[in-house]
């Protein structure tokens, strides 16, 4: 392994990228972003699989409105993927995303690019310049005789120049190609040209196993040369497979630690009924000491918690002075708040001994009905707009108007 290349550092929400930050794993949701619950369920599944940052498409106004509701409830930072309409980048910023990805081949007007960069600069938001061999700006492709490594880097450099004109350099860059050798050469050239953090990926790698082999060849080669700060496998598969593959590559190269108990926790939002950080820390401590090989979720509210984390083996969600213990999204017991962590540990031990199906069969028959009644009460008490998403959606509608 070559020493890691020295890069600047930026922050995508709580996740540092570049510098001495751990190399992060990214993936992208395949749901419609306007489908808030479906997208959040996929984001939680990705977080559970070891994904650090999730990208969601922002391809229409409804997607931006969805982001306004997704971001406050996502356990990991969200990047909005923007392709053709710069106004959707502005709408995504308004929705509260932690970063943008712009494709220079698709948004080409200098004024539009600079407008987005200015807004990102003023809000302290990073942008990934996401060059893609398949959608390269035609004049650059023509000058270089196609989507060569030099052409991919030239596209990134031109976008950087626009950004610099408005004093914006909170940037990471990708130069992806589906041809592995082109991708490797493009990143090597880019690494010699700039000191920004690099996001590695082989684009459109296809379904596993070939897609995994191609991605590993490209990403793994560069990581071994010390190039790369964040990675994404682009597979024609469930995105959870992308996250698992990325995580496995980093672990096998000794670039990320292997995990024991896998604890995921919601970020807490206007709906939280408990101090999520304190409960998550207590649960992590207790579960780690017992080394139980489970994925466990700690969720701040019963209104959305069990649904958002339904992919977890086990979880606890907070109600009013109570905890709803759930197994694979089904509430199996309602316990006093003071017993949330001990009930979680107790259930985790039983799942390891008896299995998920047996614990679902042993569920308190009244638990789901009690839980449903409490969820209704909470929505009535706190309303539906606890994260002030409605106000953001109003502003998005103004911004996105033609
Ligand atoms: S408090 Fe509830 S709605 Fe908010 S992020 Fe946590 S589980 Fe989701």
Set out the domains of the chain in order of their start, with CATH numbers: 9-252 (3.20.20.20), 262-382 (3.30.413.10)
* Atom 5 of ligand 1, nearest CA residue: 73
The closest-lying atom of ligand 1 relative to the alpha carbon of residue 305 is 7
Give whole-number Cα distances, 63 to 35, 59, 119, 156, 266, in Å. 8, 6, 19, 26, 21
Shortest-distance Cα residue to atom 8 of ligand 1: 73
266 CB less than 6 Å from ligand 1?
Answer: yes
Is ligand 1 within 6 A of the CB of residue 305?
yes
* Residue-level pLDDT at 13: 97
User: Is the separation of the CB atoms in 264 and 44 below 8 Å?
Assistant: yes
Task: Report how far residue 361's alpha carbon sits from residue 147's, in angstroms, rounded to the nearest whole number.
Answer: 57
The reported pLDDT for the residue numbered 78 is 98
Torsion of CA 50, 53, 54, 58, to 10 degrees: 180
Question: 13, 267, 318, 326: which to mutate for ligand 1, most atoms within 8 A of CB?
Answer: 267
Pocket test for ligand 1, best of 37, 74, 271 (most atoms within 8 A of CB): 271
Tokens of 63: 């997607």
Structure token digits, residue 48: 């559970």
Q: Is the CB of 203 under 6 A from ligand 1?
A: no
DSSP 135: G
Q: Where are the alpha helices (DSSP H) in 198-266?
A: 210-224, 239-252
Query: Which residue among 96, 280, 304, 306 has the greatest number of ligand 1 atoms within 8 angstroms of its CB, and so is best to mutate?
Result: 304
The token duo for 317 is: 């969600």
Q: What is the pLDDT of residue 384?
A: 87
Count Cα atoms within 13 angstroms, Cβ side, for 93: 22
In eight-state DSSP terms, residue 202 is: B
What is the four-CA torsion angle of 349, 355, 358, 360, rounded to 10 degrees? 80
User: pLDDT tens for residues 205-234?
Assistant: 999 999 999 999 999 999 999 999 999 999
- In short, whether 264's Cβ falls inside 6 Å of ligand 1 is no
Q: How far, in Å, CA of 299 to CA of 209, rounded?
A: 35
Q: Is the pTM of this model over 0.85?
A: yes
Please check whether residue 305 is in contact with residue 318, taking contact to mean a CB–CB distance below 8 angstroms.
yes
Task: Give the per-residue pLDDT at 261.
Answer: 81
Neighbouring CB atoms inside 10 A of 290's CB total 13
List average pLDDT for each run of 10 residues in the chain, which is 402 residues long: 96 97 98 96 93 97 97 97 94 98 93 97 97 94 96 97 97 98 98 98 95 98 98 96 96 85 91 93 89 90 92 93 94 95 96 95 95 93 91 94 80
Find out whether the beta carbon of 315 lies less than 6 Å from any atom of ligand 1.
no
Contact between 231 and 246 (Cβ < 8 Å): yes
- pLDDT score, position 260: 67
């Amino acid at each position: 392994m070559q020493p890691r290349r020295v890069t600047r550092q930026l922050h995508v929400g709580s996740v540092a990228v570049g510098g001495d930050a751990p190399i992060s794993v990214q993936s992208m949701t395949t749901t419609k972003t306007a489908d808030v619950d479906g997208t959040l369920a996929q984001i939680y599944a990705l977080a559970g699989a070891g994904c650090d940052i999730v990208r969601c498409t922002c391809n229409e106004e409804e997607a931006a409105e969805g982001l306004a509701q997704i971001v406050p409830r996502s356990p990991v930072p969200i990047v909005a993927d923007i392709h053709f309409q710069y106004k959707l980048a502005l709408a995504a910023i308004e929705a509260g995303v932690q970063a943008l990805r712009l494709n220079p081949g698709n948004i080409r007007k200098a004024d539009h690019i600079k407008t987005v960069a200015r807004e990102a600069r003023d809000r302290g938001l990073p942008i990934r310049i996401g060059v893609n061999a398949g959608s390269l700006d035609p004049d650059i492709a023509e000058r270089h005789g196609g989507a060569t490594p030099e052409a991919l880097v030239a596209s990134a450099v031109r976008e950087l120049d626009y950004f610099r004109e408005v004093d914006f350099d909170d940037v990471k860059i990708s130069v992806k190609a589906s041809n592995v050798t082109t991708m490797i050469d493009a990143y090597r050239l880019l690494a010699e040209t700039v000191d920004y953090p690099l996001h590695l990926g082989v684009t459109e790698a296809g379904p596993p196993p070939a897609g995994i082999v191609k991605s590993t060849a490209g990403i793994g080669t560069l990581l071994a040369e010390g190039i790369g700060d964040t990675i994404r496998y682009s597979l024609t598969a469930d995105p959870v497979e992308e996250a698992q593959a990325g995580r496995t590559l980093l672990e096998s190269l000794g670039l990320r630690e292997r995990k024991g108990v896998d604890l995921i926790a919601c970020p807490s939002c206007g709906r939280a009924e408990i101090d999520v950080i304190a409960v998550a820390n207590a649960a992590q401590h207790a579960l780690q000491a017992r080394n139980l090989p489970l994925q466990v979720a700690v969720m701040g509210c019963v209104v959305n918690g069990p649904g958002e984390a339904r992919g977890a083996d086990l979880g606890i969600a907070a109600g009013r002075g109570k905890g709803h213990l759930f197994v694979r999204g089904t509430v199996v017991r309602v316990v006093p708040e003071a017993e949330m962590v001990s009930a979680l540990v107790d259930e985790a031990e039983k799942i390891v001994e008896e299995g998920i199906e047996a614990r679902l069969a042993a569920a308190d028959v009244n638990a789901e009905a009690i839980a449903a009644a409490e969820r209704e009460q909470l929505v009535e008490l706190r309303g539906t707009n606890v994260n002030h998403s409605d106000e953001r959606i109003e502003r998005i509608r103004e911004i996105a108007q033609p």
